[in-house]
Amino acid sequence: MSPPIAADTGGLLRGLASTRDGKPSFREFEKILTSASLVIVPGLVLAEVDYFLRENRAAMRKPIAEMFDPATRYEYGLPLPSDIVRALELHAEFGTLNLGLVDGTVVAVAERRHVYRVLTTDRRDFAAIRFGPRLTRALDLLP
C-alpha cells in the first residue's frame, strides 16, 4: 500500500472511469486509487463528482457505496468550518490562480489531515499552491 491521498474532482473521476467492458479508462489514476492506504474525498469534491455524473447514476452509486463502507479505504472528508475559512485564505493568498472553493477545501482538508499527496488533473493550480504556517509546503501531485 502507498501513503494516503486526498482526491480532487478530476483525479477521482478519472480513477473511477471505466470502459464499457469494465476496464479502467485511465489505468494510472485507477492504480493510484487502488494502491493508496487511504483515499480522502472532501465533501465538496463528492458534490462536484455527483454533478458530473448526473447523467449516469449507476456510476455514482459505486463510489458512494465504497465511501461509506467502513471496510474500504475511502473516507468522506467532511469539510469543517475552519477548512472553508482556510480555503478562502488560500484563495486570497493565491489570487492569480483560479482557485475555487472546492480546490481550496481539498488543500485545507489535506493540510489539516497532514496528507500531502493529491490525485488531480489540475496540475497548474495545485502546483502553485504553498501551505503550512509559512506557505512553504508544496503538494505532491499524482499522477
pLDDT tens-digit series, residues 20-66 = 898 999 999 999 999 999 999 999 999 999 999 889 888 888 888 88
- Residue 43 contacts residue 77 (beta carbons within 8 Å): yes
Q: Which residues are 75's β-sheet partners?
A: 40
Count up the domains in the chain and report the number. Answer: 1
CATH number at residue 67: 3.40.50.1010
Residue in this structure with the C-alpha cell 449516469, named with its chain if needed: 56
pLDDT tens-digit series, residues 121-138 = 999 999 999 887 788 889
DSSP string of 73-99, one letter each residue: SEEEEPPPHHHHHHHHHHHHHTTTS--
- Residue 72 contacts residue 38 (beta carbons within 8 Å): no
Q: What are phi and psi of 135, to 5 degrees?
A: 50, 50
**Numbers of helices and strands, H then E, in the chain:** 7, 7
pTM of the entire predicted model: 0.92
Domain of residue 86: give its range.
Answer: 5-142
CA distance 108 to 6: 10
Nearest Cα to Cα of residue 17 among 27, 5, 2: 27
